[in-house]
Amino acid sequence: MAVADAPMNLTKAAHVGISVSDLDASIAFYQALTGRAPVAEGTMSSVPFGRTQGLPVAKLRYATINLDGLGIDLIQFQDPVGERTEGRANRPGSMHLCLKVDDFDAVYRRMKDAGYDFLGDDYTFIAGEVTPEAALGTKVAYFNDPDGTNLEIIQPKGGFAN
């Protein structure tokens, strides 16, 4: 992989794309999670677009749910259908989407009461386990969407995780 000598200065995110196995189930999940309906839904079938993805063709259904400052593109590939990644957090290439909350304890409790299955206990960053010091007191919890995509809720402290 070539790395440029000068930075590319890519500093603004537009959207995150998440491949899903059942678009309707994923729309329901993310709509319940965010309280927002899709702003766009559709289909696409294209050889040229498929090639942009490194695929021979791309036949897909999609929906976009907009958050403040970031879109979530949910994409169900119908041809070619891919295999589930089982994207555990420690596997290179896996990713997670972090959602910022203002009242962690209230959101975490509401999610638990609604049946969200967290991967482990919630966690508050403490001295001796994290740097920088600005992160102390940050609260996090991790869970998965229906296809196993890693998701996180966070209530940052100080200037951490803007």
For residue 22, pLDDT beyond 90: yes
Domains by residue range for the chain, with CATH: 13-81 (3.10.180.10), 94-162 (3.30.720.110)
Residues 6+ apart with CB under 8 A from 41: 27, 61, 62, 63, 64
Task: Calculate mean pLDDT across residues 101-111.
Answer: 96
For residue 32, pLDDT beyond 70: yes
Position 91 scores a pLDDT of: 80
The rounded distance, in Å, linking the Cα atoms of 4 and 54 is 22
pLDDT single digits (tens) 36-69 = 999 999 999 888 888 888 988 889 999 999 999 9
**Of residues 85 and 66, which shows the higher confidence score?**
66
**Of residues 150 and 2, which shows the higher confidence score?**
150
For residue 72, pLDDT beyond 60: yes
| Terminal-residue alpha carbon distance, the chain | 29
